[in-house]
């Protein structure tokens, strides 16, 4: 690969990884998966690419010492690690089985997130459930924020992803029965 191509290639991979991870975050919110699995996947894949491609990266840029290592590690984590993680999550999500199961879970924790850029004061409620031994935080629309304490459980529809991690297809808040 020539120097001109490499000078285009590394920034392209970096920004592609950034863009893909933005889309992957939304899929992560709808997937029951341990964050440690994804972090391990990102770090291992970026380390593997770093071992194979560090010499080319070093020839491309005139960095020395700590700056060379810092820039290359960041570039490989964001560029390659995020891309591999996104491919993994997209594959699990889009090649899921057809069978959908409905399950009901008790809410174990409540919190909230700030709204979007133009509506920071419209908080989104988040509810944490225990899904087969794993805690999963579910984010709902801001219209449920004022009444978030009135709900006791959540009914979710899930399907098994390609790699066996469950995907949330639908979620419904169930009110507490105050008879």
Domain parsing of the chain, residue ranges:
3-94, 101-175
Q: Which one, of 164, 170, 139, 173, lies nearest residue 32 by Cα?
A: 164
pLDDT of res. 96 = 93
Q: At what angle do helices 35-60 and 3-29 cross, to 10 degrees?
A: 170
State pLDDT tens for residues 50-66: 999 888 888 888 888 89
pLDDT of res. 178 = 53
How many helices, marked H, and strands, marked E, lie in the chain?
Answer: 4, 5
Provide φ and ψ at 124, rounded to 5°: -100, 125
Q: Would you give the DSSP letter of residue 142?
A: G
Q: Determine the topology of domain 101-175 in CATH.
A: OB fold (Dihydrolipoamide Acetyltransferase, E2P) (2.40.50)
Handedness of CA 64, 70, 71, 73 (dihedral sign): positive
Q: What is the pTM of this model?
A: 0.82
Task: Collect the ranges in the chain with pLDDT lower than 50.
Answer: 179
């Amino acid at each position: 690969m020539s120097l001109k191509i490499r000078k285009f290639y590394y920034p392209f991979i970096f920004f592609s990884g950034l863009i893909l991870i933005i889309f992957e975050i939304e899929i992560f919110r709808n997937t029951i998966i341990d964050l440690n699995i994804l972090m391990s996947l990102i770090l291992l894949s970026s380390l593997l690419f770093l071992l194979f491609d560090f010499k080319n990266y070093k020839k491309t840029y005139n960095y020395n010492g700590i700056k060379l290592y810092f820039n290359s590690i960041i570039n490989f984590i964001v560029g390659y690690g995020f891309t591999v993680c996104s491919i993994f999550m997209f594959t699990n999500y889009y090649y899921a089985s057809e069978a959908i199961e409905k399950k009901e879970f008790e809410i174990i924790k409540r919190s909230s997130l700030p709204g979007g850029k133009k509506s920071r004061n419209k908080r989104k409620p988040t509810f944490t459930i225990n899904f087969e031994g794993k805690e999963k935080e579910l984010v709902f629309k801001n219209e449920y924020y004022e009444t978030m304490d009135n709900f006791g459980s959540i009914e979710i529809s899930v399907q098994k992803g390609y790699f066996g991690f469950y995907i949330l297809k639908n979620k419904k808040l169930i009110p507490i029965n105050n008879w």
